[in-house]
Amino acid sequence: HSPTRRYFRHNSRLLMLAIFERLTHLLFAPDEVILQRKTLMIIANHGYIGSMGHLHMRGGAVFLDFLTADEDPPPRALSLKFTEVIALTRDKLNEACAENPNDTYYIAKARVYYGLLKLAREIKSYSGELEAEEYRMSRGGPESSSRRLSMARAMAEE
């Protein structure tokens, strides 16, 4: 089962129809860099897309975190041969959900799931930065304790 089916599978037919009406088709040439912001893409033909170290093939979904992603610049992907995708932007999905507000439980659940994944990545990145700073301070000699104190105060203020 495709990961996208998890949050589209149990929705009402009215919501599914509203989403279907908003789908668009995009075509990418070989070696074309894909910079689509807040857009879910599902590969519709026998094309390939490489993204973040993964190879996506027919039926594969690219940018599953489009519900919560706000990257600037947007995540990059590369079309490896002529690739047709079915695309759904976050704005179009929000329009469909606004028309069917009582049928959005699974989509809301997916937003929470991808939001938690995003938060976990940010925490991991931030803790790595703190560990690197701690290591630099431990190598800094006697003045490192004052730097440690000022860093602790700055974090407390945040």
More confident: 26 or 158? 26
- State residue 108 phi and psi, 5-degree precision: -65, -40
Q: How many helices (H) and strands (E) does the chain have?
A: 5, 8
pLDDT for the residue 151: 67
pLDDT for the residue 1: 44
Provide the b/e sequence for 80-102 (b: ≥16 CB within 10 Å).
beebbbebbbbebbeebbeebee
pLDDT for the residue 129: 75
Helix, strand, or coil (residue 51): strand
Q: Which of 26, 6, 27, 35 shows the shortest CA–CA distance to 105?
A: 6
d(CA 149, CA 95): 49
d(CA 107, CA 125): 27
Give pTM, 2 decimals: 0.66
Q: Which of 116, 105, 100, 117 shows the shortest CA–CA distance to 7?
A: 105
Residues 64 and 114: beta-carbon distance below 8 Å: yes
pLDDT band for 71, please (50, 70, 90 cuts): low
Q: pLDDT tens digit string along 30-65?
A: 999 998 878 889 999 989 999 888 899 998 888 877
Residues 93 and 19: beta-carbon distance below 8 Å: yes
Helix, strand, or coil (residue 75): coil
pLDDT for the residue 28: 95
Q: pLDDT tens digit string along 75-133?
A: 789 999 999 999 999 899 999 999 988 888 888 888 888 888 888 878 887 777 777 77
Highest mean pLDDT among 18-27, 36-45, 57-66, 133-142: 18-27
In sequence order, which residues have a C-beta less than 8 Å from that of residue 82 and are 6 or more positions away?
Answer: 27, 28, 29, 30, 45, 47
Mean pLDDT value across the chain: 81
